[in-house]
Chain A
Amino acid sequence: MPSTRYWSWFAAPGVAWLVGFFVVSVYAVAAVAFGQVDPLLKTAIPAWNPLQWRTDAMSDVLGRLAGGDLGRVAVRTFLFVGAALAGCVAIGYPVAYFVARTARRSRGIVLGLLVLPFWISYLMRMLAWTNLLQADGYVNRILGWIGVLDQPRTWLDGSASTVVIGLVYGYVPFFILPMYSALERIDGRLIEAARDLGASRAAAFARVTLPLSVPGLLAASVITVLPMFGDYYTNAYLTSGSPRTEMIGNQVEFFLRGSSQPQKGASLVLLLMAALLMLMVYYLVTTIRQQRAMER
């Protein structure tokens, strides 16, 4: 086999870029988290040498996560993300399933419409909801007209359900597409075989399609949940920054920009990364496996 060394030159600029701007940046987070703060200027004095790392900011953040205010925020983040993921699966799985099982010819238009939200700015989609959810907005008017609400409800002043609905609305498209491509890869002949052997439609789904779609379901969930854990703008935007719906991301932003506590913000980011590491590794491993399979 000839040497493939030649090709490394093509990858070199991109690799150098990622090392310079990604790896070094993430290291800078650690350097700030374990560094010191200038007592007067309140600016970070990063510790680039790991031997000089100090852990007081990290232990403070850990203590507040274990029992204090940050702990409540972390639990709320998990609840919001969990509820939003459940919503994404409940809506996204059937939609993806329907499109994957639709005749190929009529699939184009539906797929196009499903991809459309990708080209619409996320914050514009949230802006749309702030319009709809005003006290005299369409949502209250429609609900009042149907008779669900006696009087207009205030949606935008810190209600958890508004945040969860907003998260589902924002992230469902990111769930549907990978879910669709996973369901589409399932060999239709396996389902036909199950039907030929006497399985009802429901049984064929439950015993063939569903188990075969589990890896795809996990991958789609991971790719949806990861950005959600770092989201701080959806909840802040939909509840005018109410502290009742604060998530971990809001705390990070507060430490770094709302107040001069860069060490704590950086520590919280490191902890967030550590908490999400399993999910990130899961995604990496499955993607690399897929790449290998494609090359064979």
Chain B
Amino acid sequence: MTAADTTPPRARQRRRRRIPALAVLTWLYILWSLLPVLVAVRISFNSGKSRSSFQSPSFRWYWDDPTASILRDDSMHVALRNTLVLAALCMAIATPLGVAMAIGLQRWRSRTSSAANGLMLIPIVTPEIVFGVALFLVFSQLYTGVPDGLTRQVLGHITFTMSFVVVIIRGRLASIGTQFEEAARDLGATRLQAIRLVLLPMLLPAIFASVMVVFATSVDDFVISSFLSTGASTETVPIRIYSGARAGATPALNALATVMLVLTLAAVALAAVALRAASRRTSAPGQVAGDLAALRA
């Protein structure tokens, strides 16, 4: 296999004690992880109905087809809009809640705060089906006054994603330490001013990273959205991909998934640029990969 040869030759010479078998395996894995998705993207441009073999390129499933293209099929763009609205509301609410909670938990020392910290971590390890069922039952049995559909989905997504924000921000808070805020306080800033003028700017890269994680998690979520969905008008893209595969699927599903993919990657790229700009200004080295690793480790 030639996958290993894609490593730049100079880097190859420089590395000591390299094990080529591992490099081959790693590049094969990367190929395996991404190639199917590229094939799916290609099929979205198929002119025929087949979802397995490519005939000739066209935009039929994007806008040309009068009924089944994502432009003309209402259920498709409703799903797209629902997904984006859901993610936007979730980012707007979960991020500030999570950032404040991270700052609070990091500084507040008592038995109650340890308990709160433990509580914050539990949603991360709770399988989504438990989450989905629990939210489904609490809304249908107890919080019956909450409007069904989108409102419940937003509340569910916030509950599910907030802890990710807290973990990412806490990781960064621990590495920043308290000395900068103390200096600000010595120079006469109030506690809130010290946070607003010193701490928040330093946290900016981590906040960007957590907004991206919230976005990706919300956009990707199938289980919670599905349990809180009340029908076609509250379907999201993952739900549409899931339910669409059964009933006479066309490459329009691939087109829908491709649009979502492009939007997500564009958002991530934008955030990466913003992150780089922000971290240059504050000299806090920001690495989304590092933040993600902190989240999952």
Interface residues of A (CB under 8 A from B): 4-15, 17-19, 21-26, 28-29, 31-32, 44, 46, 91, 94-95, 97-99, 102-103, 105-106, 110-132, 134-138, 169, 172-174, 177-178, 180-182, 201, 216, 219-220, 222-223, 226-227, 229-233, 237, 240-241, 249, 252-253, 256-257, 262, 265-266, 269, 272-273, 276, 279-280, 283-284, 287-288, 290-291, 294-295
Residues from chain A with Cβ under 8 Å of B123 in the complex: 18, 22
B187 is an interface residue with CB less than 8 A from chain A: no
Q: Would you give the 0/1 interface string for B214-239, flagging 1 where the beta carbon is closer than 8 Å to chain A?
A: 00100110110001000000000110
Nearest A residue to B191 via CB reads: A6
Residues from chain B with Cβ under 8 Å of A106 in the complex: 7-8, 11, 15
Among B188-216, those with CB < 8 Å from A are: 191, 216
A10 to B170, CA, bound (A): 13
B14 touches which of A103, A113, A287 (Cβ 8 Å): A103
Interface of B is mostly: helix
Residues from chain A with Cβ under 8 Å of B127 in the complex: 226-227, 229-230, 272, 276
Nearest A residue to B212 via CB reads: A119
A226 to B297, CA, bound (A): 14
Among B275-297, those with CB < 8 Å from A are: 288-290, 292-294, 296-297
Residues from chain A with Cβ under 8 Å of B22 in the complex: 94-95, 97-98
A21 touches which of B23, B108, B109, B159 (Cβ 8 Å): B159
Residues from chain B with Cβ under 8 Å of A23 in the complex: 119
B40 is an interface residue with CB less than 8 A from chain A: yes
B104 is an interface residue with CB less than 8 A from chain A: yes
- Pair A110/B30 contact, Cβ less than 8 Å: yes
Interface residues of B (CB under 8 A from A): 7-8, 11, 14-15, 17, 19, 22-23, 25-26, 29-30, 32-34, 36-37, 39-40, 43, 50-53, 97-98, 100-101, 103-110, 112-113, 116-131, 133-138, 140-142, 155-156, 158-159, 162-163, 166, 170-171, 174-175, 191, 216, 219-220, 222-223, 227, 237-238, 241-242, 245-246, 253-254, 257, 260-261, 264-265, 268, 288-290, 292-294, 296-297
- Pair B108/A223 contact, Cβ less than 8 Å: no
Residues from chain A with Cβ under 8 Å of B142 in the complex: 24, 28, 46
Residues from chain B with Cβ under 8 Å of A130 in the complex: 51, 245
A284 touches which of B34, B121, B129, B130 (Cβ 8 Å): B121
- Pair B264/A119 contact, Cβ less than 8 Å: yes
- Pair A288/B101 contact, Cβ less than 8 Å: no
- Pair A119/B19 contact, Cβ less than 8 Å: no
Residues from chain A with Cβ under 8 Å of B289 in the complex: 111-112, 114-115, 177
Contact (A121, B108) CB under 8 Å given A32-B141, A229-B127: no
- Pair B97/A13 contact, Cβ less than 8 Å: yes
Nearest B residue to A219 via CB reads: B297
Contact (A119, B141) CB under 8 Å given A136-B53, A181-B297: no
- Pair A113/B137 contact, Cβ less than 8 Å: no
Contact (A8, B108) CB under 8 Å given A182-B297, A280-B122: yes
A177 to B291, CA, bound (A): 10
- Pair B113/A13 contact, Cβ less than 8 Å: no
A177 to B297, CA, bound (A): 8
- Pair B257/A124 contact, Cβ less than 8 Å: yes
Residue among B98, B175, B222, B289 having the largest count of chain A Cβ atoms under 10 Å:
B289
Residues from chain A with Cβ under 8 Å of B116 in the complex: 11, 15
A115 touches which of B106, B107, B288 (Cβ 8 Å): B288
Contact (A181, B53) CB under 8 Å given A95-B25, A124-B260: no
Residues from chain B with Cβ under 8 Å of A125 in the complex: 36-37
Nearest B residue to A270 via CB reads: B130
Residues from chain A with Cβ under 8 Å of B137 in the complex: 25, 28-29, 32, 44, 46, 262, 266
Contact (A288, B117) CB under 8 Å given A14-B98, A113-B34, A229-B127: yes
A112 to B135, CA, bound (A): 34
Residues from chain B with Cβ under 8 Å of A265 in the complex: 133
A117 shortest CB reach to chain B, Å: 6
B104 touches which of A9, A201, A231 (Cβ 8 Å): A9
- Pair B238/A121 contact, Cβ less than 8 Å: yes
B84 shortest CB reach to chain A, Å: 13
Residues from chain B with Cβ under 8 Å of A288 in the complex: 117-118, 121
